[in-house]
Amino acid sequence: MQGRVLKSTGSWYTVLTDDGKKFQCKIRGKLRLKSIKTTNPIAIGDIVNFDPESDNATGNITSVVPRKNYIIRKSTNLSREAHIIAANIDQAMLMVTVDFPETSLVFIDRYLATAEAYQIPAILIFNKVDLFDGEFEEKLNYYLSIYSPLYPCYKTSANIAKKKSIYSNSGLS
């Protein structure tokens, strides 16, 4: 059976199958993955193969399907290993504010560079645009002039319906 990892808590993983059923799974034996040495062999978003137990609620993970992408960080224990934050990411969205507080250009650039490095499509959502006038509107237009030629950029305010529309149009909800 196959499913996507939704949650990881210690040695237990919540796996969702295509038909919507959730299983609580453990790794069977020592699971080895090729390519990168990591502290966690399975991450949120991984597609895994597993054998369900007779109770039809638990199972044992037998393998991980090759990832289309993943995002990692250095492990906190000072080892040479990495920690996978998430895998098989469809899209990354960054909520940007020009002020109240300001999202710095350096932070936006680091976010976009990371998404690009891991082949994750990125979207920028400029929030609180209803609060801008004069100087802040000029700053917003400056940000948009930098990023909109390269990335989808959306402007929104506290209007929750608009945010839901952006998320649903991106295939996420």
Q: What is the DSSP string of the chain?
A: -EEEEEEEETTEEEEEETTS-EEEEEE-S----SS--BS-SS-TT-EEEEEEPTTSSEEEEEEEPPPS-EEEEE-TTSSS-EEEEEES---EEEEEESSSSPPPHHHHHHHHHHHHHTT--EEEEEE-GGG--THHHHHHHHHHHHHTTTS-EEE--S-HHHHHHHHHHTT--
Check if CATH label 3.40.50.300 holds for domain 92-169: yes
Percentage of the chain beyond pLDDT 70 is: 85
pTM over 0.75: no
Domain range list for the chain: 2-87, 92-169
pLDDT for 162: 62
Q: How confident is the model at residue 170 (pLDDT cuts 50, 70, 90)?
A: low
**Are 2-87 and 92-169 equal in CATH topology?**
no
pLDDT at 83 over 90: no
Q: Which residue has the tokens 């393998």?
A: 63
Question: Mind listing the pLDDT tens digit for each residue in 23-71?
Answer: 999 997 776 555 567 778 899 999 999 999 999 999 999 999 999 998 8
Check if CATH label 2.40.50.140 holds for domain 2-87: yes
pLDDT for 13: 97
Question: Mind listing the pLDDT tens digit for each residue in 38-49?
Answer: 778 899 999 999
